[in-house]
Structure 1
Amino acid sequence: MQLTRKTIAKVIVAAFLLNLVVMGAGAWLAYQEAPPIPEEVVGPDGEAIVTDGEIRDGKAAFQQYGLMNHGSILGNGAYYGEDYTAETLELKAQHMRDYYAREEYGAAYDALDSAERAAVAQTVREDLDEAHDGSDTVEYSAAEAYAHERVTETYVERYHEGDHARGVPEDMIQSPEEAREFADFALWTAWFSHTDRPGSDNSYTNEWPYSPPAGNDATGAAMIWSVVAMVLLVGAAGAAILLYKSV
């Protein structure tokens, strides 16, 4: 079958317009389904740990000090350096394991036997797999509150005091307060990556980033759509070659 250039041009324009519609609908849906910024995160005693203002200020610090050039949030950003969401999620789970190990067995997590480590790890996964009730206040468990403080200390040391091994200069973030707020922002992204949406069995990010210690495993839907996307990509490339050969 021979196709004219005019017909191919119409196909390209139609594909372009369809792409705009799909991308626009995707952007609108993403905005509607965006995870909330809680007005307040409190500990088990009701004491405020972080507020929405501090989370927003942490985002501003992330932008002001160009931290997107050294890492990424939710995988969107630099192609080098750590992903802050994945790192804070891993650190949070690690510190929670340490907390529960000392609470339950009076020893460091690494000092426990395999059965005890498995029990602690399961407790952490269950703790982090809580569903969000949709309220404006998020209540941390004692282990989460402990982990939040430990991760914050790590980020203040690294991004304010400097970390030569990671290539982070001193005063990369000028004040300890701003470094703490950046940690609050990164930990907020970790929170909604492991917390289930209201009425759903999956987190706000569909269990991403992948982190078995935090209970984030690849979902069936993610695997299916990954395959579908690959098939569509290869199919579209084949269709483009076919059209080119048909002229």
Structure 2
Amino acid sequence: MDEAAQPKFDPEVSPLSKWWLRSVLMVMILGFAGLLAITMLSYRNAPPIPDVVVDARGETLFTGDQIRSGQAIFLRYGLMDNGTIWGHGAYLGPDFSAETLHQIGESLATSLAQQQFAKTLNALTPIETGSIRGQVAVTLKTNRFEPASDTLRLTAPEAIAYRAQTARWTSYFINPARNGGLAPKLITDPAELRDLTAFFCWTAWASVADRPGGGLFLHQQFSL
């Protein structure tokens, strides 16, 4: 057959099938629908931000406004490029939520060891350590959020642990030696550091507290 007589493909004369366009539209619709559904479920299952967080005596430790302000500060300084919250972010620095949870757990364990055995953590026997470990886990998992008053109540040892966190994170953001490459004295404003600490402590609480009705808001590994 003469080569000149064979039909040639001309994209202007032979357009793609209409099903290509339909398929693309269907994929886009299903994809966006899935993203919207995931977003709605995330907000519906999100841990609550309490209006106020108080200690065992009812004194205010920090507020929901401080938590939101701390989150805004976290984003303003681009800290997600340094460390993570709930495992989302860079790994140059720590997971701020996990590190805060660990520090609170250590402080809580130290307080319990002193109260119950009049010993330091390192001086406990294996059985005593197991007892303290179990009590710390139960204390941290117990959800003391009161929806009616929009209040989160912390135990006395938890409140002590929270108060120690501001100094810990102040050192982290001022000292460049062990902060994963952040600029020296990145955050020095005491109010910003308090709000940032409130945000970290809330993320720590949300990562381990039991959800009403069973299950967790999130899941964060904790170990002594």
Q: How many residues align?
A: 206
- Quickly say closer, same or farther: Cα 1:80–1:5, change in 2 above 3 A: farther
Mapped to 2, the partners of 1:181 and 1:89 lie a distance apart of 17
Residue in structure 1 matched with residue 9 of structure 2 by the alignment: none
Q: Give the residue type in structure 2 aligned to 1:164.
A: A
Among residues 148, 153, 175, which one is paired with 1:162 in the alignment? 175
Any conservation in 1 of the 2:170–2:188 contact (CA below 8 Å)? no
Give, in angstroms, the shift of residue 81 of structure 1.
1.9
SS state of the match for residue 53, structure 2?
strand
Question: How many percent identity over aligned positions?
Answer: 31
Residue in structure 2 matched with residue 211 of structure 1 by the alignment: 222
Residue in structure 2 matched with residue 113 of structure 1 by the alignment: 125
Give, in angstroms, the shift of residue 151 of structure 1.
2.0
Question: Which structure carries more helix by proportion?
Answer: 1
Any conservation in 2 of the 1:41–1:138 contact (CA below 8 Å)? yes
SS state of the match for residue 49, structure 1?
strand
Give, in angstroms, the shift of residue 182 of structure 1.
0.6
Residue in structure 2 matched with residue 221 of structure 1 by the alignment: none
Q: Which runs of 5+ in 1 are unaligned?
A: 214-247
Any conservation in 1 of the 2:73–2:196 contact (CA below 8 Å)? yes
Q: Aligned ranges for residues 94-243 of structure 1 at < 5 Å? A: 94-131=106-143, 132-135=145-148, 136-159=150-173, 161-166=174-179, 167-199=181-213, 201-205=214-218, 208-212=219-223
SS state of the match for residue 21, structure 1?
helix
Runs of 4+ in 1 over 3 A off after TM superposition: 4-13, 167-170
Mapped to 2, the partners of 1:73 and 1:210 lie a distance apart of 13
Q: Which runs of 5+ in 2 are unaligned?
A: 1-15
SS state of the match for residue 138, structure 1?
strand
- Quickly say closer, same or farther: Cα 1:26–1:89, change in 2 above 3 A: same
Q: Give the residue type in structure 2 aligned to 1:188.
A: W
SS state of the match for residue 62, structure 2?
strand
Length-normalised TM-score, structure 2:
0.83
Indicate the RMSD between aligned Cα atoms, in angstroms.
2.1
Q: Compare 33-42 and 113-122 and name the one that shifted more.
A: 33-42
1:99-144 deviations in Å (ceiling 9; x for gaps): 1111111221122111111100100111111134434111101111
